[in-house]
Amino acid sequence: MSLLKELILQMFFALTPFVLFNIYYRDRMRNYSRCFILVTSSVCMFLAMTFASSVNEGIIFDIRHVIVFFALIYGGVRIALIVLIESALYRFYLGGEGTWVAMLVMAATFAISLLIYQRYKASYRKTLFTLLTGALFSLIDLGLTYFNFPTYVSHQLPYHVLVIPVQNFVGIWLLMSLFSKCVSDKELFIRHAQNEKIETMSHVAASLAHEVRNPLTAVKGFLRLIQEDPGNIAKTDQYIRISMDEIQRTEAILTEYLALSKPLKERTELIDVCEQLHVVREVMLPFANMNNVELELQAYEKPVTIMANPDEFKQVLVNFIKNAIEACAETAKGKVSLSLFIEKNNALLVIKDNGIGMDEGQIRRLGTIYFSTKTSGTGLGLTYSYHVIHTFGGSVSVSSKPKVGTKFTITFPYHQPQ
123-136: per-residue pLDDT in tens? 778 888 888 888 88
pLDDT of residue 169: 84
294-342: per-residue pLDDT in tens? 999 887 778 888 888 887 888 788 888 888 988 888 888 889 999 988 8
- Each domain of the chain, given as residue ranges in start order, spans 2-193, 266-418
340-392: per-residue pLDDT in tens? 888 888 889 999 999 888 888 777 767 554 445 554 444 556 777 787 888 78
Closest CA relative to residue 332, chosen from 355, 362, 357, 314:
355
- CATH classification code of 2-193: 1.10.1760
Maximum average pLDDT range among 14-28, 257-271, 326-340 = 326-340
Residues 286 and 249 sit within 8 Å (Cβ to Cβ): no
pLDDT of residue 376: 46
Checking if the pLDDT of 38 tops 90, the result is yes
Checking if the pLDDT of 256 tops 80, the result is no
Tell me the β-bridge partners of 306.
271
Domain 266-418 indexed as CATH 3.30.565.10: yes
Single-letter amino acid, residue 321: I
CB contact burial 294-333 (16+ within 10 A = b; e otherwise): ebebebbeeebbbebbbbbbbbbbbbbbbbbbbbbeebee
Tell me the β-bridge partners of 305.
272
Closest CA relative to residue 44, chosen from 7, 10, 81:
10
Instruction: Map residue 404 onto helix, strand or coil.
Output: coil
pLDDT of residue 205: 66
2-193 and 266-418: same fold? no
pLDDT of residue 368: 54
Strands 53-56 and 59-61: antiparallel
Confidence grade of residue 239 (pLDDT, cut at 50, 70, 90)? confident
